[in-house]
Amino acid sequence: MTRRIPRFTPFRAAMFAIPAAIACLALAVFLQPGPSQGAQEDDMFGAADLQDLLAAFEDEPFARPSGPWSVSLPRDYGAHEAMRGDTWMMALHLEDEAGTRIGMTFGLVRLGLRAQAPGSQASPWALRTLYRGHLSLAEDGAAALEAEERFSRGAGAAGADSPSRKLWLDDWQIDYGGASAQEGLTLSASANGLPVRLHLSPAKAPVAMAGDDGAPVRGFVIPRLNVQGTIGKAEAERRVHGVAWLDRLWGDLPLPGGPLSNQRLILHLDDGTDLTLLRTQRSDGRGLATVEGLAVFPDGEALPLPPDGPGAIDMTATASWTTQDGSATYPVAWQLTGPGLDLTVAPMIENQDPGFALPGWIGAVTVSGRHDGVQVAGMGTLQMTDGSAP
Amino acid sequence: MIRAFDAPLLRPLCLIVAAAPLLLAGCRDEAETEGDAARHRSPTGAVARSEQAAGDPEKGYDALVNEPYVSCGIPWSAYSRLNPDPGLSVPGRTGRNAELPYASTAHVNADGVEIVSGNCLICHANRIGDEVIVGLGNEFADFTRDPRRLALQAANYVRGAPETAAWQHWADRVEGIGPYVQTRTVGVNPAPNLTWALMAHLDPETLAWSQEPLIAPPPEDPIPISVPPWWGMRKKNAMFYTTIGRGDHARFMLLASMLCIESPEEAEAIAGYAEDIRAYITSLDAPDYPYPVDETLAARGAEIFQRDCAACHGTYGEDETYPNLVIPYEEVGTDPTYAVEQTDGSRDRFYDWVARSPYGDDQSAAPAPGYIAPPLDGVWATAPYLHNGSVPNMAALLSSSLRPTFWRHRTDPRRYDPEVMGWAHEVLDTGQEEETDPDARRLIYDTTLRGYANTGHSYSDDLDDASVQALIEYLKTL
């Protein structure tokens, strides 16, 4: 992966689709009435029913991103509540003082169900918005990951408050209250009672989508933030440090479901390069698979990776993992090749099915290989929407 | 520092939906006999007229801009999220179509899913200034990208079983044609190769789609085509450059629906208004030249035209004539690739397909080894010139030393240059091979590429500058 292309080619909005899709997929169950006692399996409320339910809200007149925009922080850390939805997704690659590697993902989604007319005085208890959050922690050498998923209908229990620069879901909280963009974000959350308190400060500038092109979604990534903090309760608290990637997206987010499978990689290499790749294919396995991506070099220069041509990256699955019940098989190891790039990606733990409401694999990976002739290593995150084999 | 990029989800996803196979070509299979080859060939020289069924032009226009003859595409719910801008329209659009860009048409399928498809105007309309000219070939369409990627991007907003089934129908077809329709440069058209690729996947009698090709597909690299203006059909006895499209034009035009077709019954339903569409197309007049014309100079040019050009291109004015002449490719000297491939036997399996299908018979796809000398009505509007669009303007066509080897359109905004009769362009020093940025490369018309040459038709090279100026002035009046 060398900087052979002198100018920017389009940065795919689709790149953001997967965190949004994963988050929204899980949100769907919040609307699920659940099977009645003794119901036959055939009668159970399935994913298609969930999609139909959400589809009932599909035509709500939410605002669409429009007009000139360029990213402004800390403002754009905050929610855009006139829009259909917001997502915040962090992939964190950490190490404790003993050198043990810890991969972590944190996600928060706000999904509007009913658009609020200006000046309307609807009951605060009316179902207008759903929140979904997740946290997963994978530690090198552990047998499985710690993962927790939460849902809320807002109404005070979850929300976004721009004046105080806070986002919360129960006692999980993102605080972006610093006066400047460089002051970053503070995350307080927990996974199954294991507390996490981290501060993230941007080490590279945001890379943003264009603001005036009429796309249904708008947003930015911060490819590298420095992370300091603690994991664990008082007596077992460990100091951790590392780096993180932030996806931030708002607008008319795709609802759950659809005919595509995605695999998304986020890699932090120890030469200072950050890389994300999105592989997309039909869920039925037919047809072309596309891989597009974004590389951000140590100096912050961003290079969109085209889906074909001389700068394209080839992404080949090399090993898979099947769930215990055999219901899904995930390609958990990958070989990446491209101009100046030859990387091997392996799962830190094979079983990183977090057991969230809808199927998926969200886990920590290690990466090693060569970049521009130099040996590199690093950590990463792999997210997969469903268990279709590539 | 913030990097800004545009979001390609908004690229005209519809562009490929219909890419109507209105151009055809052909040749013969190696295994075939001499007799079979003769069946699929026509001589150069005059093309005989064939009877055409009458039709109602008004009904034809309504069908052209409102009927779903391309019956698969993107579900509306996904389309509207990705393409919220209604774009330019044309008169007479009804229902949902009134909210869509002129080259897209909506209909509700049997499952109740509203679908947006491309229509004929993707390739057969273009704007000059702010006005959409129906029938003018689109010389700015971008067929350089892999349509399969666009189909995947569209699926980000496809939800639910009925929408998914509708999307899969379209995506399957796009998957079948994807490798065969990617041109090297923006502006040229891959319709012949698109047509062959579809035939490779369709049973000619049942019109059932097979994901695996039933006969060998064409080579992947399409030979580029400039889309001829529809108003020429008033005079032309065959539809396409090598005179494929003889016989019943309305029936052959049904090939435009082939991307999504599922049965002979569906084809027959479209045939019910195809004659009206043909009648509309043949009712079209060329647009008038919109700038001042020096009448004295044009009169001098008329004399030169009568002397040097009329024998092939016909005469204009009150007693107009048009000889429908195919000139052997060796004689006209323009890029021979297209005519050679259509007559060297390598496309004959597709001509057989046509003869067995509801779209035509033995004479429908029987090309001649040459190129038709087209009628020149409205020629001012039809730049770039030659069958492959390799010459950016009339001044360069008439003085071959002025033809650039490497060039690109000046766009954003595009500008018409009345002096040279063509769209403003930029001459480049190097071709596609030297350009590393794929997005810059695809804008370069590189006449050294196979099928993209700008040679031939050098009949006017001996004219002095004043005569060329006079000839251009006369051509503005056609």
What is the pLDDT averaged over residues B88-93?
94
Round to whole Å and give the CA distance between A23 and A214: 23
CB A95 within 8 A of CB A103: no
User: What's the confidence (pLDDT) of residue A40?
Assistant: 37
Task: Return the pLDDT at B411.
Answer: 83
Q: Which residue has the higher pLDDT, A321 or B39?
A: A321
Domains of chain A in sequence order: 13-29+45-57+73-112+126-384 (2.40.370.10)
Measure A98 CA to nearest chain B CA, in Å: 36
**Does A41 have pLDDT greater than 80?**
no
Q: Taking each helix axis from N to C terminus, what angle separates B264-283 and B57-66, rounded to the nearest 10 degrees? A: 120
pLDDT tens-digit series, residues B380-424? 999 999 999 999 999 999 999 999 999 999 887 889 999 999 999
Contact A215 B9 (CB under 8 A): yes
More confident residue, B370 or B12: B370
Report which of B372, B337, B368 is spatially closest to residue B40, judged by C-alpha positions: B368
Query: How close does chain A come to B96, measured CA to CA in Å?
Result: 16
Residue B194 has pLDDT above 80, yes or no: yes
Q: And the tokens for A140? A: 């090198």
Residue B30: the pLDDT is 39
Mean pLDDT of B350-371: 93
B354: closest CA among B21, B18, B102? B21
Of chain A, the percentage scoring pLDDT greater than 90 comes to 44
Tokens 């509207």 -> residue? B80
Using a pLDDT cut of 70, give the percent of chain B over it. Answer: 92
Phi, psi of B34 (to 5 degrees): -55, -40
pLDDT value for A70: 87
Contact B5 A215 (CB under 8 A): no
- DSSP letters, A279-301, are EEEETTS-S--EEEEEEE-TT--
pLDDT at A153: 82
The answer, yes or no, to whether residue A6 has pLDDT greater than 70, is no
Question: What is the b/e burial string over B324-335, where b = at least 16 CB atoms within 10 angstroms of the residue's CB?
Answer: bbbbbbeebbbb
- Averaged pLDDT for residues A155-173: 89
Cβ neighbours of residue B442 under 8 Å, at least 6 residues apart?
B142, B144, B184, B185, B186
In chain B, which residues have their Cβ closer than 8 Å to the Cβ of A215? 7, 9-10
Separation CA B133–CA B377 (nearest Å): 14
> Which has the minimum average pLDDT: B18-32, B159-173, B181-195, B456-470?
B18-32
Q: Are A322 and A332 in contact (CB under 8 A)?
A: no
pLDDT of residue B2: 28
Structure confidence at residue B319 (pLDDT): 86
Q: What is the rounded average pLDDT of the residues B164-181?
A: 94
Pairwise CA distance, residues B396 & B425, whole Å? 12
Integer Cα distance of B462 and B428 in angstroms: 26
Q: Is B313 exposed, middle or buried (0-12, 13-18, 19+ CB in 10 A)?
A: buried
**Nearest C-alpha in B relative to A304:** B5
**Chain B: residue whose CA lies nearest to A299:** B1
| A:B CB pairs within 8 Å | 140
As a whole number, the mean pLDDT across chain A is: 82
Within a 10 A sphere around the Cβ of A175, how many other Cβ atoms?
17
Tell me which chain A residue has its CA closest to the CA of residue B163. A258
The arithmetic mean of pLDDT across residues B427-440, rounded, is 92
Rounded to 10 deg, the angle between the B147-154 and B161-177 helix axes is 170
Inform me whether the pLDDT recorded for B460 exceeds 90.
Answer: yes
Q: Find chain B residues with C-beta within 8 A of A281's C-beta.
A: 152
